[in-house]
């Protein structure tokens, strides 16, 4: 890693909360908001890593994938249950700052007739000891966001593959560190974007690959989810997620919507994100929610937020196509990821799911997506529907876990790789810079260093 890209220590949950409570507002995370004018080199360009690999990385096959988990709360625990249902997996170690929770999840493993995993519960950085001491093939982290990068780097430095919940990072330099480590240590670093595997998204991918929509020109996506009650809980994500809204301004969570449309549009594999512009509304929702739900004098009523309630970002690709990305989690609304993919011959629009294909649909009318699913359902869903039943988020969590294990056991490239993790995650800090600089355009770093023009199109493993 170049000297100009030092390892940035994570901003811990307690520090974020202190900063928010102190009312410091903008300019305290990521080092972005004090910048003005032209985007600095550290946001536009990466370190000198030389050329990226000529082909997508594949490691040697692993007969039994030995996994260590860092963070086994709600989502991490859900992944543990998934891996218990997948052949060729051994759960070796569990790490969490909540020892009681780690014991609970360890009991699930033992109840399944497996060896009790070793627990790592000696504090926030005990994952380092896990990575150094355990014989593992994969380290999987489902921690608060600020720990994703430190865990992944420690895993790769100690000869393990890494998998992380979303986003993989929220600073440009951290995205580059993930890429640099994956290449230097020749390890997978996968961001577990479950929405890539949701059934409608995979059907749209299949339809696009078969040419139903013609040339894809535009997509719209986002993460529109009323999280107010979750953010104010005194447990789980409420212990850390709200704090980011006190100190950052932009799109914190672009990957759920952007991941699937990036796959359809061949980003990193035939096209590349070029630049973006971003803007946000004022911040109103969280303070209003606190005022309604807590009495006068309650500490949560004194918190102040800088994250605009709705962030809107437009992205241009190198091939001239456009992507609209929205983030909206602080206001009352039904859930949506928008998920619109539009081409010269037709389009898909999500929430509700519907299709229009010229010449096959009635003019100016939508078809319900179920009219198309029987013929264009993705083969992975046909294969895994029964096995994924009951898993988190309608089964897509199981499918993403299954696909990762399949790639590791067969020695194949993973569906998503470190370049996808960096590309999707870097939207976070770039939107922060654009918002602070009057929505000025900013280039999106090319983590593939030009290889996107020659790497083969994505085809999901096993499809």
10-residue block means of pLDDT along the chain (463 residues)? Answer: 36 40 34 54 83 98 98 98 98 98 98 98 98 98 98 98 98 98 98 98 98 98 98 97 98 98 98 98 98 98 98 98 98 98 98 98 98 98 96 97 98 98 98 98 97 97 81
CB–CB of 63/409 below 8 Å? Answer: yes
CB 197 within 8 A of CB 68: no
Topology of the domain covering 196-378+419-453: Dihydrodipicolinate Reductase; domain 2 (3.30.360)
How many other CB atoms sit within 10 Å of the CB of residue 116? Answer: 12
Do you know the residue count of the chain? Answer: 463
Topology alike, domains 65-165 and 196-378+419-453? no
Ramachandran angles phi, psi of 165, nearest 5°: -70, 175
**Cα–Cα separations (whole angstroms), residue 293 to 8, 196, 224, 299:** 37, 36, 22, 12
Q: For residues 221 and 421, what is the distance between their CA atoms, to the nearest angstrom?
A: 17
Q: Which residue has the tokens 């507002």?
A: 25
* Token pair belonging to 321: 């196509």
The yes or no reply on domain 65-165 and CATH 3.30.70.2740 is no
Taking the C-alpha atoms of residue 353 and residue 99, their distance in angstroms, rounded to an integer, is 42
| Other Cβ atoms within 10 Å of 159 Cβ, number | 13
CB-count exposure of residue 438 (10 Å: 0-12, 13-18, 19+): exposed
Complete DSSP assignment for 14-37: HHHHHHHHTT--TTSSTT-TT--S
- φ/ψ region of 361 (left if φ > 0, alpha if ψ in -120 to 50, else beta) reads beta
The beta-strand segments (E) located in 344-386 are: 346-349, 354-357, 367-368
Going by C-alpha positions, the residue among 233, 231, 11 that lies closest to residue 124 is 11
Instruction: Assess contact for 422 and 179: CB atoms under 8 A.
Output: yes
Look at residues 264, 268, 145 and name the one whose alpha carbon lies nearest to residue 198. Answer: 264
Contacts of 34 (CB under 8 A, 6+ apart): 27
Q: What is the pLDDT of residue 41?
A: 73
Strand arrangement of the beta sheet that strand 340-343 belongs to: 367-368, 354-357, 346-349, 340-343, 216-224, 322-328, 310-317, 273-280, 442-443
The rounded Cα 420 to chain-centroid distance in angstroms is: 9
Task: Look at residue 38 in the predicted model and tell me its pLDDT.
Answer: 72
Radius of gyration over every alpha carbon of the chain, rounded to an integer in angstroms: 21
For the chain, the domains span: 65-165, 196-378+419-453
Closest to 147 in 3D by CA, of 120, 173, 127: 127
CA distance 221 to 337: 6
Distance CA 61, CA 39 (A): 43
**Distance of alpha carbon 60 from alpha carbon 273, whole angstroms:** 31
């Amino acid at each position: 890693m170049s000297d100009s890209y030092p390892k940035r220590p994570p901003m811990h949950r307690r520090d974020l909360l202190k900063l928010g409570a102190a009312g410091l507002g903008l300019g305290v995370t990521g080092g972005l908001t004090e910048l003005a004018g032209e985007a600095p080199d550290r946001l536009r360009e990466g370190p000198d890593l030389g050329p990226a690999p000529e082909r997508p990385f594949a490691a040697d096959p692993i007969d039994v994938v030995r996994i260590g988990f860092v963070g086994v709360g709600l989502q991490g625990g859900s992944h543990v249950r998934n891996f218990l249902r997948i052949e060729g997996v051994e759960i070796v170690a569990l790490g969490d700052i909540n020892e009681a929770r780690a014991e609970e999840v360890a009991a699930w493993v033992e109840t399944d007739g497996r060896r009790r995993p070793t627990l790592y519960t000696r504090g926030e950085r005990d994952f380092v000891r896990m990575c150094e001491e355990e014989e593992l093939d994969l380290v999987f982290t489902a921690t608060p966001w600020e720990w994703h990068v430190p865990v992944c780097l420690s895993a790769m430095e100690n000869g393990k593959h890494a998998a992380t919940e979303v986003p993989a990072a929220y600073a440009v330099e951290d995205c580059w560190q993930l890429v640099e480590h994956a290449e230097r240590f020749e390890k997978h670093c996968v961001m577990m974007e479950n929405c890539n595997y949701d059934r409608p998204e995979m059907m749209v991918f299949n339809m696009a690959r078969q040419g139903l929509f013609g040339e894809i020109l535009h997509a719209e996506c986002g993460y529109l989810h009323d999280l107010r009650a979750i953010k104010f809980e005194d447990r789980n994500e409420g212990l850390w997620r709200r704090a980011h809204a006190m100190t950052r301004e932009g799109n914190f969570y672009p990957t759920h919507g952007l991941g699937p449309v990036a796959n359809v549009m061949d980003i990193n594999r035939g096209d590349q994100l070029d630049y973006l512009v971003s803007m946000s509304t004022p911040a109103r929702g969280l303070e209003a929610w606190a005022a309604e739900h807590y009495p006068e004098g309650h500490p949560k009523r004194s918190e102040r937020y800088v994250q605009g309630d709705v962030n809107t970002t437009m992205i241009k690709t190198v091939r001239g196509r456009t992507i609209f990305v929205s983030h909206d989690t602080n206001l009352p609304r039904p859930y949506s990821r928008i998920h619109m993919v539009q081409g010269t011959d037709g389009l898909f629009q999500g929430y509700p799911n519907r299709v229009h294909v010229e010449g096959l649909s009635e003019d100016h009318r939508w078809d319900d997506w179920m009219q198309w699913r029987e013929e264009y359902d993705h083969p992975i869903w046909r294969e895994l529907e029964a096995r994924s039943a009951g898993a988190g988020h309608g089964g897509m969590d199981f499918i993403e876990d299954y696909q990762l294990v399949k790639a590791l056991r067969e020695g194949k490239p993973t569906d998503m790789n470190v370049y996808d993790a960096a590309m999707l995650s870097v939207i976070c800090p770039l939107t922060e810079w654009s918002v602070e600089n009057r929505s000025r355009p900013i280039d999106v770093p090319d983590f593939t260093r030009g290889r996107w023009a020659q790497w083969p199109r994505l085809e999901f493993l096993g499809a």
